[in-house]
């Protein structure tokens, strides 16, 4: 898929474009949550959604994990990132 290739490199230098953020899938379940690597925290409101959680890498793909799922997994896994990602907005014409 074309979006999978684009999203692999979507986060660079602590930034992610809003266009890419909208296409990042949500990680609902995985076989081993300890294999999930944290990239950075996200707190961004778009016109139709509010992203409040963490961007992670699982395998070769990146995913979004909402704050509620992070809190549910907290007794079993520690989230070690304190770095926040900056969302770059698309240019308005």
- Torsion, CA 21, CA 23, CA 26, CA 30, rounded to 10: -110
Give 3-state DSSP helix, strand, coil % of the chain, rounded to 5: 25, 35, 40
- What pLDDT sits at residue 93? 47
CA dist., res. 91 & res. 14, Å (int): 19
- What pLDDT sits at residue 89? 77
Mean pLDDT of the chain: 85
Bigger pLDDT: 10 or 29?
29
Query: In the chain, where are the structural domains located?
Result: 2-86
For the segment 63-73, the average pLDDT, to the nearest whole number, is: 94
Q: How confident is the model at residue 1 (pLDDT cuts 50, 70, 90)?
A: low
For the segment 50-55, the average pLDDT, to the nearest whole number, is: 93
Q: How confident is the model at residue 50 (pLDDT cuts 50, 70, 90)?
A: very high
For the segment 54-59, the average pLDDT, to the nearest whole number, is: 92
For the segment 14-31, the average pLDDT, to the nearest whole number, is: 87
């Amino acid at each position: 898929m074309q979006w999978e290739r684009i999203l692999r490199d979507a986060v660079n230098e602590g930034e992610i474009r809003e266009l890419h953020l909208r296409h990042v899938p949500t990680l609902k379940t995985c076989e081993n949550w300890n294999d999930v690597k944290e990239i950075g925290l996200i707190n961004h409101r778009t016109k139709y959604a509010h992203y409040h959680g963490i961007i992670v890498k699982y395998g070769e793909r990146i995913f979004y994990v909402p704050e509620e799922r992070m809190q549910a997994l907290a007794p079993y896994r520690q989230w070690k990132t304190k770095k926040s990602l900056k969302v770059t907005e698309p240019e308005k014409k």
